[in-house]
Amino acid sequence: FNRIANTTIDIGAVEVQPTGTSTTTTLSPNLNPSLYGQAVTFTATVTPTAGGPATGTVSFRLGTQVLETVSLNGLGVATFTTNSLDVGTNVLTAVYNPTGSFTTSTSAAVNQVVNARTTSIALSVPSTTVSGNIPINI
């Protein structure tokens, strides 16, 4: 039947089903900058706007490359340790892959600076002792 409202046909009510509880994901390294080959641990924390803690996994990404996917612990936290980042600025993010009624979220980018290691070379000359007569040509 047609429902008339203010001389026009009213299309009726619209119902929207909730799509899930939104989340926020944060990413932080245990040290920044680091040295080439040094282990850096990244911690991702997923915080739901309601309910919780968050469940699912977090994908740690270097640019578009997934380095590792780790399950969240009972507090909504996942950690990942690597010692294979390149010298320079490495841009990492954490992407939350939810289970249950939570929604996905991506952390702000973290610019992890990796510095080259300094090297030094030490040379030593073994000491020699010479005894006796040594001829010298002049």
Q: How confident is the model at residue 52 (pLDDT cuts 50, 70, 90)?
A: confident
C-alpha distances in angstroms, 67 versus 29, 35, 63? Answer: 15, 19, 10
The pLDDT mean for the chain works out to 88
pLDDT value of residue 109: 98
Q: How far apart are CA 64 and CA 90, in angstroms?
A: 12
Q: Which residues make beta-bridge pairs with 33?
A: none
With a cut of 90, say whether residue 130 has pLDDT above it: no
Give the residue from 89, 88, 92, 98 showing the smallest Cα distance to 41. Answer: 92
User: What mean pLDDT comes out for the span 81-109?
Assistant: 97
Residues 6+ apart with CB under 8 A from 67: 60, 61, 80, 82, 92
Structure tokens at 25: 């994901």
Residue 80 CA to residue 67 CA, distance in Å, equals 9
Q: Tell me how crowded residue 77 is: count the other CB atoms within 10 A of its CB.
A: 17
Between 14 and 38, name the one with better pLDDT.
Answer: 38
Give the confidence band of 6 by pLDDT, cuts at 50, 70, 90.
low
Q: Is the pLDDT of residue 128 over 70?
A: no
pLDDT band at 91 (very low <50, low <70, confident <90, very high): very high
